[in-house]
Amino acid sequence: MSHTVKILLLGSGELGREFVISAKRLGALVIACDSYDDAPAMQMADAREVFSMLDGDALRAVAEKHRPDFIVPEIEAIRTEVLAELEAEGFTVVPSARATQMTMNRDAIRDLAASELGLVTSRYRYAKNLEEVRAAASHTGFPCVIKPVMSSSGKGQTTVREEAGLEAAWDYAVANMRGDRSRVIVEQFVDFDYEITLLTVRHSAGVTFCPPIGHRQERGDYQESWQPTPMTDAAIAKAQDMARKVVDDLGGHGLFGVEFFVKGEDVIFSELSPRPHDTGMVTLVSQNLTEFDLHARAVMGLPIPDQIRARPAASAVILADRDSASLTYSGLAQAMEGGADIRIFGKPTSRPYRRMGVALATGPDTDSARSAARSAADRVHIGYGD
């Protein structure tokens, strides 16, 4: 069988799984990579490679073995200097090696946004030890947020309300860092009305925006998301302008998840991921083209609509509560009775608070969709055999 393109996917979690499905529908051949076998995306892909993406020699060896048309990172913890070398040698990195390098570390993308592009951000400083954390907190004031410059899904993040909490927050950030850099960002706590993800697609014909996605977090990790979230035209315009500036600077083609805090008409840049975003799982039911479809199209140079609309919809995560390598799922029929949909990610092991699936629902408005999604998620039961 012939294929349109060959894609090397770096990271094979639930977002990678959905991306593989979208890419396969367009005729791509996908090699899924991760540090453990039988990861969710591997179950859908044509081939798999098991290695640490922080092992530069292994990363290069896999790229040279498969000679893909596109190298598509799905995680942050990658030896990005090797991606830059591969790009210089003729490989295409999505959206670009520079984008993966800038966004792997919160300090690089924050400095780009605040210092070079002039985007509105909170006050912040970096620290690489507890003494510097204390100095940074005196600059930002309390409450402040402390998080590793490199982590995934909000891990290692703490809101600190007084000086006595700084040491525990530093210890927690260090324990949850990814990569090999013991550095945190200490930033002013923004008393926002709500926070959004603006899915932004940079493609061969320009930039296209999805309707804004609202979301709620616990422990720094997304718990539910909904789309569209109410925003004034002025606030949407500010968010779109900032998102366009940063994705145009990063370059390349693909979908970016750009996060903002919103306070009244004020819009404050928070973070950016150069790939599909976990809060964008809601697009599996809200949009005719999901975030994964849009990413695949942009990567492969296929057309992206000028306008993307969303029906009121919501997602709610299904979490594990313990460590196990023997998992069963029940309650799916009951969860679906009200019209909700369930996606089980197929992760081979669980741990406390690990996302194992997601409930998806639509409704006449986002409030009713959120209620339906949460109710469906609550009805799914995870069984542990060990």
pLDDT tens, residue by residue, 198-257: 999 999 999 999 999 999 988 778 999 999 999 999 999 999 999 999 999 999 999 999
Query: Quick one: pLDDT at residue 152?
Result: 58
Query: Quick one: pLDDT at residue 269?
Result: 95
**Residues 134 and 202 reside in one and the same domain:** no
**Residues 174 and 46 reside in one and the same domain:** no
Q: Is residue 113 part of a domain?
A: no
Query: Quick one: pLDDT at residue 105?
Result: 74
pLDDT at residue 297 greater than cutoff 70: yes
pLDDT at residue 153 greater than cutoff 70: no
Burial class (CB in 10 A: 0-12, 13-18, 19+), 376: buried
**Residues 207 and 283 reside in one and the same domain:** yes
pLDDT (tens digit per residue) in 359-371: 999 999 999 999 9
Q: Is residue 111 part of a domain?
A: no
Q: Is residue 106 part of a domain?
A: no
Residue 375 binned pLDDT confidence (cut-offs 50, 70, 90): very high
- Window from 9-23, 104-118, 337-351 with minimum mean pLDDT: 104-118
Question: At 254, phi and psi to the nearest 5?
Answer: 155, 180
Which CATH number fits the domain that encloses residue 39?
A: 3.40.50.20
**Residues 281 and 251 reside in one and the same domain:** yes
Query: How many domains would you assign to the chain?
Result: 3
Cis amide linkage into residue 312, ω under 30° from 0: no
pLDDT at residue 180 greater than cutoff 80: no
What is the set of active-site residues? 152, 154, 259, 271, 278-279, 355
Q: Is residue 101 part of a domain?
A: no
Ranges of H-type helices in the chain: 14-25, 56-66, 80-88, 97-104, 106-111, 130-140, 166-175, 233-250, 283-286, 291-300, 332-336, 366-379
DSSP per residue, 37-66: TT-GGGGTSSEEEE--TT-HHHHHHHHHHH
Which CATH number fits the domain that encloses residue 203?
A: 3.30.470.20
Question: At 109, phi and psi to the nearest 5?
Answer: -70, -35
How far, CA to CA in Å, does 287 sit from each of 126, 301, 317, 383?
38, 20, 19, 32
Query: Quick one: pLDDT at residue 103?
Result: 83
How far apart (Å, rounded) are the C-alpha atoms in residues 374 and 314? 9
The residue with greater pLDDT, 205 or 107, is 205
Query: Quick one: pLDDT at residue 181?
Result: 65
How far apart (Å, rounded) are the C-alpha atoms in residues 276 and 91? 21
Question: At 31, phi and psi to the nearest 5?
Answer: -105, 115
**Residues 184 and 200 reside in one and the same domain:** no
Residue 326 binned pLDDT confidence (cut-offs 50, 70, 90): very high
How far apart (Å, rounded) are the C-alpha atoms in residues 247 and 137? 30
Query: Quick one: pLDDT at residue 151?
Result: 66
Burial class (CB in 10 A: 0-12, 13-18, 19+), 117: middle
- Report helix angle 233-250 to 97-104, nearest 10: 120
Specify whether the backbone of 153 is left (phi greater than 0), alpha (psi in -120 to 50) or beta. Answer: left
Q: Tell me what the pLDDT averaged over the chain comes to.
A: 94
Burial class (CB in 10 A: 0-12, 13-18, 19+), 339: exposed
Contact partners, residue 51, CB within 8 Å, separation at least 6: 33, 35, 58, 59, 62
Q: Is residue 105 part of a domain?
A: no
pLDDT at residue 1 greater than cutoff 80: no
Whether 256 contacts 95, CB under 8 Å: yes
Q: What is the pTM of this model?
A: 0.92
Q: Is residue 99 part of a domain?
A: no
pLDDT at residue 271 greater than cutoff 70: yes
pLDDT at residue 383 greater than cutoff 70: yes
- Window from 20-29, 64-73, 157-166 with minimum mean pLDDT: 157-166
- In 3D space, the residue among 214, 261, 257, 267 whose CA is nearest the CA of residue 237 turns out to be 267
DSSP per residue, 109-123: HHHIIIIIS------
Whether 11 contacts 53, CB under 8 Å: yes
Query: Quick one: pLDDT at residue 77?
Result: 83
Residue 33 binned pLDDT confidence (cut-offs 50, 70, 90): very high
Range of the domain at 77: 6-93
**Residues 177 and 235 reside in one and the same domain:** no
% of the chain with per-residue pLDDT over 70: 97
Query: Quick one: pLDDT at residue 385?
Result: 86
pLDDT at residue 384 greater than cutoff 70: yes
Query: Quick one: pLDDT at residue 2?
Result: 63
C-beta atoms surrounding 233 within 10 Å: 7
pLDDT at residue 299 greater than cutoff 80: yes
